Amino acid sequence: RDELAAKVRRPKRPRALVLVPTRELAIQVAGTMKALGHHAKLSSGMIIGGEPQGKQKKQLERPVDVLIASPGRLLKHRDAGNVHLGSVKYVIIDEVDTMLTQGFGPELEKLIGPLLKHPKDGVKPQYITATATITRSLRDQLKQTEDTFLPKLGEMSASDLHRSSPTVRHDFRDIKGEDKISSLLDVLSQHKYGSARRKERTMVFCNGVKSAQAVSHALREGGFKQVPYHAEMPSDKRKESLLAFSEGRSARRMKRDIDRERENADDEDDVGAESFPFMDDFGGVEDADDDSFPILVCTDIASRGLDIPMVKHVVNFDFPRNTVDYLHRAGRTGRLNADGSARAQRGTVTSLVGRRDRTLAAAIDRSLSRGEGLEGSTGIDADHRMGSKMRAARLRDARAGQKRAQERRERSEQSGLPKGQRQRRPKGKTARGNDVGKFTRSSRSGFTRRKKN
């Protein structure tokens, strides 16, 4: 901060660059930076797709210390001469795993490659990359980017890497022989979305756009107030959905705010929304100003970066394909309080487990119940057979557990207490090393099998 504030600010020449993969994440980062800037005396700006380029050009003509941007739109402004990156001394790439796996590599090389290869005054910028999960594939990709647009990076990881928050409870529901939509409606009906829990929000995750559209239609038919959020929606519609979900703004209130923005705007293009889609989707919602949309039906586009403290419940309608996606989805709940206190809120993750999902679900459940990281969990049946590495690891864990139990018995016998007064563990099922696919319950996670009527 002191180094940035000490130098003379110049138009079109930011000194720090924050690159993010999505516009929604950019808006969040910009809001946080604006709040910090009041205390640090730093100016900030945001350049993202879906917004008028003319308005962004005017913003860049003012001195900006920290620029938050999506790579594609920033590259257009750089090629047009609206911004010069030669003065950048700090480069932060958020959600770097998403950046590298979703094709942002060529744009990053064009943007920040020259800063590495031809630094101004011979001083290279400081690079920081951030991600919630570090996989072997990501390490390989980062190694491939060395000397192209990133230097050789050191790695710093938290002690709870690849672990779920201890304030989050995990429920796995076996839906064998049951209708999946009916199971979802049953899960959601258990959460009362009335005045007492008005601020609580639920995110329903699907693996694809078609699945999300089907779920959104089914919930609407079932009387649940929900909004969709997926990649095939235009950016302005996604913005409207996120505002309706995160801020609790009713259909009537949102339409009134957009109309007011259009009246006050000099150029109609400055207002991103051309129409308001929710008025037709919910018969009667427009009749109440205080109605909101407590359910967001989304794909994995909403699983990374979004910080909505009011989310208390995450539902995996479609079970995630891997542990990385599971961690990111589960990370949408159990977040820090909105007031900034360090105490995390409690949350619940409910997963509907089908026949094909049981192996991966059992592996995740086992790791969660033991407080282990999920990076070693897998949904491949062969990994759980005799002679596999995971099978051997589970056998070692089982033997270690038997050894600890024997040590407890020996300590109890040495205490001299009569056998009837010795402390005993409560009776109940526990997960054994060869119980792949069997449903168990633990303090933080567990399978539950619903009884048929």
Counting runs of H as helices and runs of E as strands, what totals does the chain give? 15, 12
pLDDT, mean of residues 448-452: 50
Phi/psi of residue 123, nearest 5 degrees = -110, 115
Residues contacting 66, CB < 8 A, separation 6+: 4, 14, 15, 16, 17, 18, 33, 37, 42, 43, 44, 45
As its CATH architecture, domain 2-144 has: 3-Layer(aba) Sandwich (3.40)
pTM of the model: 0.72
More confident residue, 199 or 338: 199
pLDDT at residue 409, as a whole number:
78
Mean of all residue pLDDT scores within the chain? 78
Superfamily for 168-382? P-loop containing nucleotide triphosphate hydrolases (3.40.50.300)
Candidates 37, 2, 7; CA nearest to 18 is 37
Candidates 357, 20, 313; CA nearest to 193 is 313
Phi and psi based region of residue 365 (left: phi greater than 0; alpha: psi -120 to 50; beta: remaining)? alpha
More confident residue, 374 or 15: 15
- Could you read off the pLDDT of 280-316 as tens digits, one per residue? 343 333 333 445 789 999 999 999 888 888 899 999 9
344 band by pLDDT with thresholds 50, 70 and 90:
low
pLDDT at residue 307, as a whole number:
87
Among residues of the chain, what percentage have pLDDT more than 70?
71
pLDDT at residue 286, as a whole number:
39
| CA–CA gap between residue 391 and residue 372 (Å, rounded) | 16
- Could you read off the pLDDT of 145-194 as tens digits, one per residue? 887 888 888 888 877 777 888 889 999 999 988 899 999 999 999 876 65
Tell me whether the CATH fold assigned to 2-144 matches the one assigned to 168-382.
Answer: yes
The domain spans of the chain are: 2-144, 168-382
